[in-house]
Amino acid sequence: MSFGRLHGANTPMSAGVAPAPQTGRHGLKVVSFEDARRVVQPVIARSFDPATDSARPRGELAAAIGARITAALEAEGWTVEPRDHRDLVSHFLNGLLGAGRRMQHTAPAEGGQVVQQALPLVLASVLERIDSAAAARMNRGELARRLRDVIEPILQEQGVVLNRDEQRELVQLLIDDMLGLGPLEPLLADPSVSDILVNGPEAVWVERHGRLERTSARFRDLAHMMGVITRIVTAVGRRIDEASPLVDARLADGSRVNVIIPPLAIDGPAISIRKFARQTIDLERMVELGSLSRPMARLLEVAARCRLNILVSGGTGSGKTTLLNALSQLISAEERIVTIEDAAELQLRQPHVVRLETRPPNLEGRGEVTMRDLVRNALRMRPDRIIVGEIRGAEAMDMLQAMNTGHDGSLGTIHANRPRDALTRLENMLLMGGYQLPVVAMRTQIASAVDLIVHVARLRDGVRRVTSITEVTGIEGEVVTLQELFRFQTEPAVPGDDLATVRGRFECTRLRPHFTPRAEFFGLGPLLAEAMAG
């Protein structure tokens, strides 16, 4: 069915001619909300007692207030528009209820709770009166205008009294439900939220400033949550069902999403959203945030400019992709860059960038494109630099070969607890990829490909820091040799310290970097020496 008429159509008016005074039913003068409120205020104050009337059912009290408003205005020969009448009822109703609660020494309920309670009452009727397909094609502004006309009669039918602000909030909730991600939309718009974690319809958590906290956001039921999940995955051409119960996707703003449903998720569907950073963070900004020291930033600048192969290691949510983005900004605009990711989230500003993204299999189990397929294809695309969002499988061999065959200056991330563990994980990936190579051959390949390991961690205070910059110097026997250039040295807590805050400092080992000759070849020797001076 189509939407109702547009509200408030403009009426032609001759220039310079004042509009005639409005008259309502029975010749009563139509006055403004404010004029009516001033006249009605003392009448309501005399007619109702907050101590007793606030205990009456909300609908009954609203009807009584409405009748008193109408009588008081008609005694003056006045009336108001229906919308203003509803606003007056809501104004005095909320005032009475709030006064009654204060007398009982309890906090007044938030207006948002009234709107949340009204939403399920209104939603079913709204869906009956609109064309969902047409609504999906509208922008948010046009849909908001149409919804305002639809919900006014529905509120009257349901006996729900909302003021203008509450009606606007209700319209916003309906739009979020129809076009967006429902209760998650306000969290996506909140710049302080970095991660959104949903464990079923009634448990929504967020990460703010490195700490998890539970929110009041809720889905109406399991069907509502599954509807939002379906909207997320179909927007990127993927599907989710019992045959494919887990999906990696991204939202329109670039935020990364992982969804898993039963039977794999035993207690119900779960959504994990890593929000897309609207403000690109560079090394200078990371210094300001305390994620690394200025000498460390200077060293990384030298490493990127003299085309070292850099591996960023760390745990989940430690800031690997953020640091990878910051390092990528140091790449020259004259170079051709190919990025390879499961879900595209890198934010490169250079003009010559080719972004590749993996693809899952279709319903028949065909058409899958893996990270390894894309790395191999990237080698045929004449890249100056290859950036792999996350190395985690058989593509490790192709990446190492690329680093060893002229594609220096490449970047990638890997999950690991320490720099040494990052090399062990690479070795394990080669073994899992089916490569039957001697241990020495594998480690030689790794040692000659990787120049620098930058390890990041999220410490207990929630701050993400670069805890180590370690250089791969070669191989001795069967052992890959490492040399730490910078580290974050934690300090023990003292009595009176806030244990939620980590005390420590960034230290320079003052060792001569193994890549010093390479830095000098690029004319960066003095900058490197300045960085290592601490």
Summarised one tens digit per residue, pLDDT across range 271-287 is 999 887 666 788 999 99
Q: Which of 240, 274, 308 is the last residue of a domain?
A: 274
217 lies in the same domain as 349: no
- Cβ contacts of residue 401 below 8 Å, gap of 6+? 445, 449
Instruction: For the chain, give the mean pLDDT.
Output: 82
When mean pLDDT is compared across 271-280, 423-432, 494-503, 524-533, the lowest value belongs to: 494-503
Percent of the chain residues past pLDDT 70, beyond the cut: 83
Q: 296-306 burial, b if ≥16 CB within 10 A, otherwise e?
A: bbbbbbbbbbb
3-state secondary structure of 344: coil
The pLDDT score that the predictor gives to residue 19 is: 42
Per DSSP, 319 falls in state: S
pLDDT single digits (tens) 369-407: 888 899 889 988 999 999 998 888 888 888 888 888 778
Q: Does residue 16 surpass a pLDDT of 60?
A: no
What tokens appear for 281 in the block?
A: 């963070």
Instruction: List CB contacts of 64: < 8 A, sequence separation 6 or more.
Output: 48, 53, 56
User: How high is the pLDDT of residue 198?
Assistant: 94
Does residue 178 sit within a domain? no
Question: What CATH number did the domain enclosing 229 receive?
Answer: 3.30.450.370
pLDDT value, residue 15: 39
Q: Which residue has the higher pLDDT, 455 or 233?
A: 455
Q: What is the pLDDT of residue 261?
A: 92
pLDDT, position 9 = 36
User: Is 391 among the domain residues?
Assistant: yes
Same domain, 256 and 295: no
Domain end call among 103, 134, 164? 103
Q: Is 208 helix (H, G, I), strand (E, B) or coil?
A: strand
Query: Is the pLDDT confidence value at 368 over 90?
Result: no
Cis upstream peptide for 201 (omega within 30°): no
CB-based contact 462:451 (threshold 8 Å): no
Last residue of a domain, one of 232, 257, 274: 274
Helix axes 140-158, 111-129, angle to 10 degrees: 100
270 and 297 share a domain? no
HSE-CB at 13 with a 13 A cutoff on CA atoms is: 9
Burial class (CB in 10 A: 0-12, 13-18, 19+), 531: buried
Pairwise CA distance, residues 220 & 182, whole Å: 10
Question: How many angstroms separate the first and last alpha carbons of the chain?
Answer: 70
Q: What beta strand segments (E) does 151-290 contain?
A: 193-199, 204-208, 211-214, 246-250, 256-260, 270-274
pLDDT of residue 22: 60
H-run or E-run covering 357: strand 353-357
Each residue of 307-348: pLDDT tens digit? 999 999 999 888 898 899 899 999 988 999 999 988 777 888
Question: Residue 471 pLDDT > 90, yes or no?
Answer: yes
Domain assignment present for residue 305? The answer is yes
Question: What's the domain count of the chain?
Answer: 3
In a domain? residue 150: no
What are the structure tokens assigned to 236, written together? 């990127």
Asked whether residue 55 carries a pLDDT value surpassing 50, the answer given is yes
| Residue 259: domain span | 184-274
**193/267 same-domain check:** yes
**In this predicted structure, what is the pLDDT of residue 230?**
86
